[in-house]
Amino acid sequence: MDILNALVAFLNFVFIPAAAYGAQLALGALGVTLIYGILRFSNFAHGDTMAFGAAMTIFATWALQAIGVSIYPLPTALLALPFGIAATALLALGTDRVVYRYYRQKKSDPIILVMASVGVMFIMNGLTRVLIGVDEIRFDDGARFVIDVRSFREWTGLTEGLALRTTQLITLVVAVLVVWALFWFLNRTRSGKAMRAYSDNEDLALLSGIDPERVVRMTWIIAAALATIAGALYGLDKAFKPFNYFQILLPIFAAAIVGGLGSPIGAIAGGFIVAFSEVAITYPWKKVAEYLGFDTGSAMLQLMSTEYKFAVSFVILIVVLLFRPTGLFRGKAY
């Protein structure tokens, strides 16, 4: 029985990766849930907005690197984020002006807006591919590790090592800051309150003199910022590849629905629930069990192989739809 080593193995292989991934999902799901709350449709283009934002951030990173700017040990991409956000926000506002506004004013069915978002998804996807290509890109300069396996072992004397990558720590720190800023904005500022009022009751908000177009514009800007940050962090952590952002759409939707569509706090909870279940179910628990003194024989104690991690988000989604379609935090379900 070796509780310390078991704990370290758990932290290293389950907790830290799941926490970083959960933060990325939560930021993505926040964007989806905000769009849903204000504009009342599921935005299928969100994954590709993330990809576009990450691509713009990569371009800005390259430009900064070319002129020799560096904030070692942090990755340059952090400095490049504002440029990425600005470009993505412009694109989002442009698509709203050209595509979504028409259907909003016509009061079309939500499903028509979903369909339009599929068209936007195609265009954004193509745009990203044209601009940056389809290959995998690594853009995480700076120090690779905050804690690496060898120095952790020397420091503690344990047999099990622990690694904390810079990108994982940055992901968590940035996510906390962004969420704090978002909640401060939504709860403390006039604009944020206007957004929440509009989301709760559109007609009442209009009667009290809230400008709907302004609310919608702010929503797109915030959603674009969240998407860019989530996309860039995901790219820093894993590596940037445009197609991955289409695949992350399902866990993001699952996270938003688990928390309750339209509920920001729910999106964050949902992101972590999905991420932790995904990692816990696809991780082979053999090592941890052996440290705890169980003899597992040849069994890997892996509930599902990693290829099926998307099935985990799907099952969570199905369970929530079956038992609590409004999500854990009572989102909107009309």
Partner 1 sequence: MATSRQAEAASPWRAPILLAVLVVLFVLEGTMRNALFSGSWNTSLAILNMGLISAIMALGVNMQWGYAGLFNSGVVGFLALGGLAPVLISVAPVQGAWSAGGLRVLAALVVGLGTLGLAAIVWRRLPKRSRVLGLLAVLIVGFVAYRWLFDPAVNAIEANQSAQFGNLGGLGLPVLLSWPVGAAFAAAAAWGVGKVALGLRSDYLAIATLGIGEIIVAVLKNEEWLARGVKNVTGIPRPVPYEINLQRDPAFIERAESWGMSVAELSGIWVKLCYAGLFIVVLLLLILLAELSLKSPWGRMMRAIRDNEVAAEAMGKDVTGRHLQIFVIGCAVIGLAGAMMITQDGLMAPTQYNPLRYTFLIWVMVIVGGSGNNWGAALGAILIWFLWIKVEVWGPQLIGFLTLPLPDGSLKQHLLDSSAHMRFIAMGLILLLVLRFSPRGLVPEK
Which residues in this chain contact partner 1 in the complex, by CB under 8 A?
41-42, 44, 99, 102, 108-112, 114-116, 118-127, 129-131, 133-134, 246-247, 249-250, 253-254, 257, 303, 305, 307-308, 310-311, 313-314, 317-318, 321-322, 325, 333-334
Return d(Cα 175, Cα 316) in angstroms, integer.
23
Between 4 and 299, CB nearer to partner 1 = 299
d(CA 273, CA 263): 15
Cα end-to-end distance, the chain, whole Å:
52
Contacts of 115 (CB under 8 A, 6+ apart): none
DSSP 8-state symbol, 299: -
Q: From the CB of 183, what's the least distance to partner 1, in Å?
A: 25
Q: What is the spatial distance between Cα 241 and Cα 236, in angstroms, rounded to a whole number? A: 11
CB of 157 to partner 1, least distance (A): 37
Which stretches of 133-163 are DSSP H helices? 149-156
Q: How far is the CB of 212 from partner 1 (least distance, A)?
A: 20
Give min distance, CB of 123 to partner 1, in A. Answer: 4
Token pair belonging to 65: 């690197």
Residue whose CB is less far from partner 1, 161 or 327:
327
Smallest distance from the beta carbon of 278 to partner 1, in angstroms?
13
Cβ distance to partner 1 smaller for residue 152 or 283: 283
Cβ atoms of 309 and 239 closer than 8 Å: no
Minimal distance in Å, beta carbon 71 to partner 1?
28
Which residue's CB is nearer to partner 1, number 167 or number 282?
282
Report the residue number, 5 or 313, with the smaller CB distance to partner 1.
313
Distances in whole angstroms, Cα of residue 265 to Cα of each of 51, 174, 189, 269: 24, 17, 18, 6
Which is nearer to partner 1, 253 or 272 (by Cβ)? 253
Instruction: Tell me the C-alpha to C-alpha distance, in Å, between residue 50 and each of 25, 91, 134, 240.
Output: 11, 12, 15, 11
